[in-house]
Amino acid sequence: MLERGDPRPTVLLTGFGPFPGIPSNVSADLVRKVARLARRALPEFHFAVAVLPTEWMRAPRLVAALHMRYRPMLALHFGVASGAESIRLEMEGRNFCRPALDAAGALPSASVLCEDGPSARHATIAVKAIAKELNARGYPAFISDDAGGYLCNAVLYHSLAHAEARGGCQVGFVHIPPDLSEPSRMAEAIQGALEIIKIALEPISKRASLTST
């Protein structure tokens, strides 16, 4: 929880709970472990962590509440993708819902996420630059222009909308493999996620350093 009067900018990290076909969602474990490392590596930032329910109604509401509560400078969302072999950075969230059951056994109430919203919202982290830097640092990363039509896409779209409404927040979505049971694979994913955070925050850290000198 963000302490009252804490002047540090907040980084919001989210993962997902289980959903049909994925009884244990590794993204929830990942964001907790990444946050622990990030708090030590980047003490000038406050890190907030949340595990989102994989539900059409509840997930967007919680995203809205998290933006309102923390007013993050960076909101980075993580989810699993069955076809992902390594880190996959999403370019955009689309105003589309796939008619698929969520963790509560419910279908989306409409075929779109927002009746009067744009057809797509683009991630505001520097996706291409981050992917290039990750690969240079030895963390295989790919770029995707299709976040799917399920809750990962919905969370990205809604998070971008909230960030746009208040300004000053970068938003991105990272897909990871659904199976990171091998310790080496989990360790690589955690370090890769930490690198994404560091790269996204570099301009902010530099500005803070210049201000303090």
Active site residue ranges: 90, 152, 175
Best CA proximity match to 25, nearest among 11, 15, 10, 40: 15
Structure tokens belonging to residue 98 = 């796939």
- Which residues, 6 or more positions from 51, have their beta carbon under 8 angstroms from its beta carbon? 14, 15, 16, 17, 28, 31
Q: Return the H-helix or E-strand segment holding 144.
A: strand 141-144
Q: What is the residue-wise DSSP string for 63-81?
A: HHHHHHHH--SEEEEEEE-
